[in-house]
Structure 1
Amino acid sequence: MPAPHGFEHLVRGDEIVILHHGVRAATLRGAKAADFLARIDTEDPQLLMARLTGNYRRGNERAARRHPRNQS
């Protein structure tokens, strides 16, 4: 599975805007924004932003598509 890419973040006052390929994916405020800023230096920033936005592939999408209960 490839590593997440295409994420960037902007700090605007007391909120953080996370962009994915230039499109707003999430806005963090308050405690979540503070937690994000504390974690961004110690963790992989791309992976952290992918998880926070919910844009994180789990690797099972292709297998689930072929499962018998998902066949129409």
Structure 2
Amino acid sequence: MGNIDKRKRLDENPFSYEITKDGSVFIEFHGKRVKILKGKEAEKFLERIEEAEDEKEEQLILAKITGNFKRGNERRK
């Protein structure tokens, strides 16, 4: 995994997630919601997160599941 995060961006833990009562998962990037998972997709995600060995691997899973949503022109507050 050392070659995947060359710029060490995942060390900052930019991603987080929240599980709702109905089993949906909200994924956030720096506090902004970027993806919602429901049903089988949410179940599969939670299984992968449980199997993660450490926090950095969790961040990598979150980054991969959100896909290519950042283009570089977003403003940070």
Q: Would you say same fold, with TM above 0.5?
A: yes
Unaligned segments of structure 1, at least 5 residues: 58-72
Residues in 2 aligned to 1:38 and 1:15: alpha-carbon distance in whole angstroms: 13
1:33-52 equivalent positions in 2, closer than 5 A: 33-43=42-52, 44-52=57-65
Specify the alignment match of 1:29 in structure 2: 38
What secondary structure is seen at the aligned counterpart in 2 of 1:40?
helix
Q: Determine which structure has the larger strand proportion and give its number.
A: 1
Relative to the length of structure 2, the TM-score reads 0.65
Aligned counterpart for 2:14 among listed residues 6, 10, 35: 6
CA RMSD of aligned residues (A): 1.9
**Off by >3 Å, runs of 4+ in structure 1:** none
Identity of aligned residues (%): 32
Residues in 2 aligned to 1:55 and 1:46: alpha-carbon distance in whole angstroms: 15
Aligned length: 57
